[in-house]
Structure 1
């Protein structure tokens, strides 16, 4: 078995990647930003049923600094670069999000190259593929790139696009023998193992909590975190994945109202606070003047970005769970862990 570094092991995707690597018998090294996050990672691994956490080693490293990365990659055959800065607010200066994403990715790649790592798999996003374009019926695929001059390109899509572009450029120009693969997930749902989770999970939590009387007209693709982790592991070792990017999406694009309907239909009384109505766009725009979290939503109103995972299915044999299973496993885990209103 190989030795694999997972950056950001305390994160939502990172912890599931660590779980699957341990289950497959790999030696795993992971980075955390602070030493005290080690206990959080171990608790989430226990929640996820990890049988052999003794095969896991911890290193302290942050995307914003050089310290710790050389030690973290030493002895590794592969790196899954999952860690990424993500904020629930729109920063006043977009560079607050762009620079850690791009510069952090380059730090990891340099350290991996210098340590003789065979391949790095980077977690990018559909945000690096499907934004800044006029409406289109054709699903986005891996040949597409976000148009950074587009009117709807907020700091997060820009950060993911620039970080991924920088990664491909680095490997082409100065990567030596380092190989690169990239996974581009849509909205990531699935079972939560602790209080750390992605912005997508916040949507389900807000619906279950009844935090919004009506939902905005926002659409996105859905994928289960377990399938995102599985795709990383496939891209890590498959010869066909060298130099390729792979969209991770389960099925048809859903609206937030679609998600609310799934929750009400399947959870019964436990979904009693989930809203039934979709807010008019003008109401959302007006509310965004008072609620900072909604400002990032406004450019997404009414826009449907279809995407396809045909390439991952064809080349890597990837078979993701359904949209419904991803959504319901999110809700069930939030309820089980007491992370939503009783």
Structure 2
């Protein structure tokens, strides 16, 4: 059914609008849409970003073939341009949201553009008569207020007032809450939300994402020790696939879908996957996992460890049953995703495998 829906959308010739196409998930999503023959329009803030998108698509092996158009100057920070960007659009994939590599000076630097940008996009789509917006949220909006049983599904929400909650997690929670409230109050448009866990997989472009940067740091020898911390993993290609399924399935309207490949991984387990695949790089990979007590103590002076300190070694059980059963989603195994992340770093020259390191 999904393949038939994709074919019908391609034959209809009405473009899908994608925000955040310069991002990791955005690049893979646009590549998938074009690969399915679906006309695609992307919003960019400045003309120079056109090159970034096209280069990412080239690396993904996607041929625009006259099906890709750009709309410049549509920004999450202002209303200008969004009504024009929505003209003639059939569906909207709102993937754009700020994701800093370093903590912001104030929470509002993330919260405001994430929340206001989502409302701006959904409002413009509603005014243009678009039937459905699929919005990328995050598992950060679901599973970062600890539960006693450590089991998390789409029914759960992170409390934005949770002590120690990082600004990014708070921004995703508040932005998604605002989006649902807007649609409930205004009506006239369907909203579907995808909540990915940590996104890994093949890198596009010359700037690894924050998650791919973890793999790179391990292979570089920049992480001799790792905190005890478990997290969900999803392949970027599977996350893109989940967005397309959420966009087209009739029963996806008004639903949230967690994107996770399977059981949570720890940093130590990730290092083990890389050690097994690249034994010659073993001397650069982490040699020890910090205990909970060590993480809590170090977090007093190292902000990057505060999230791990808050979780205190708990292992979340993250349920992907809904995406599998309702949408027919079948994600890759997380270990293959980690290896594919490393291979893309080697292929792009962003990471050297090392003398004698095994290659796939």
User: Do the two structures share a fold, i.e. TM-score over 0.5?
Assistant: yes
SS at match of 1:184: strand
Partner of 1:118: 131
1:98 aligned onto 2:107: no
Report the aligned-residue RMSD: 1.7
Q: Is the 8 A contact 1:5 1:78 kept in 2?
A: yes
The Cα offsets for residues 26-56 of structure 1, whole Å up to 9 and x where unpaired, read as: 1100112221011111011011001235211
Q: What is the CA–CA distance in structure 2 between the aligned matches of 1:272 and 1:66, rounded to whole Å?
A: 52
Q: What is the CA–CA distance in structure 2 between the aligned matches of 1:170 and 1:59, rounded to whole Å?
A: 25
1:76 aligned onto 2:92: no
Partner of 2:3: none
Partner of 2:60: 48
Per-residue deviation at 1:325?
A: 1.2
Pick aligned residue for 1:267 from 267, 278, 281: 278
- Single out whichever of 293-302 and 200-209 deviates more from structure 2: 293-302
Q: What is the CA–CA distance in structure 1 between the aligned matches of 2:141 and 2:303, rounded to whole Å?
A: 24
Q: Label 1:218 to 1:82 Cα distance change in 2 as closer, same or farther (>3 A).
A: same
Q: What is the CA–CA distance in structure 2 between the aligned matches of 1:111 and 1:251, rounded to whole Å?
A: 36
SS at match of 2:274: helix
Partner of 2:193: 182
Q: What is the CA–CA distance in structure 2 between the aligned matches of 1:34 and 1:297, rounded to whole Å?
A: 37
Q: What is the CA–CA distance in structure 2 between the aligned matches of 1:100 and 1:269, rounded to whole Å?
A: 44
The Cα offsets for residues 78-123 of structure 1, whole Å up to 9 and x where unpaired, read as: 0000011011222232111111100000010011111111110000
Per-residue deviation at 1:148?
A: 2.2
1:340 aligned onto 2:351: yes
Partner of 2:69: 57
Gaps of 5+ in 2: 1-9, 355-360
Partner of 1:192: 203
1:256 aligned onto 2:267: yes
Task: Map 1:1-342; keep pairs closer than 5 Å.
Answer: 1=10, 2-60=14-72, 61-137=74-150, 139-176=151-188, 178-270=189-281, 272-288=283-299, 291-341=302-352
Q: Is the 8 A contact 2:146 2:311 kept in 1?
A: no
Q: What is the CA–CA distance in structure 1 between the aligned matches of 2:39 and 2:283, rounded to whole Å?
A: 44
Q: What is the CA–CA distance in structure 1 between the aligned matches of 2:143 and 2:301, rounded to whole Å?
A: 28
Q: Label 1:282 to 1:169 Cα distance change in 2 as closer, same or farther (>3 A).
A: same
Q: Is the 8 A contact 1:264 1:272 kept in 2?
A: no
Partner of 2:357: none
SS at match of 2:77: coil
Q: What is the CA–CA distance in structure 2 between the aligned matches of 1:112 and 1:197, rounded to whole Å?
A: 31
Q: What is the CA–CA distance in structure 1 between the aligned matches of 2:220 and 2:47, rounded to whole Å?
A: 32
SS at match of 1:54: coil
Q: What is the CA–CA distance in structure 2 between the aligned matches of 1:259 and 1:135, rounded to whole Å?
A: 26
- Single out whichever of 271-280 and 107-116 deviates more from structure 2: 271-280
Q: Is the 8 A contact 1:90 1:295 kept in 2?
A: no
Per-residue deviation at 1:292?
A: 4.6
- Single out whichever of 139-148 and 290-299 deviates more from structure 2: 290-299
Q: Label 1:48 to 1:182 Cα distance change in 2 as closer, same or farther (>3 A).
A: same
- Single out whichever of 39-48 and 126-135 deviates more from structure 2: 126-135
Per-residue deviation at 1:156?
A: 1.3
Per-residue deviation at 1:279?
A: 2.1
Q: Is the 8 A contact 1:152 1:300 kept in 2?
A: no
SS at match of 2:205: coil
Q: What is the CA–CA distance in structure 1 between the aligned matches of 2:198 and 2:185, rounded to whole Å?
A: 32
Per-residue deviation at 1:302?
A: 1.4
Partner of 2:4: none
Q: Is the 8 A contact 2:203 2:209 kept in 1?
A: no
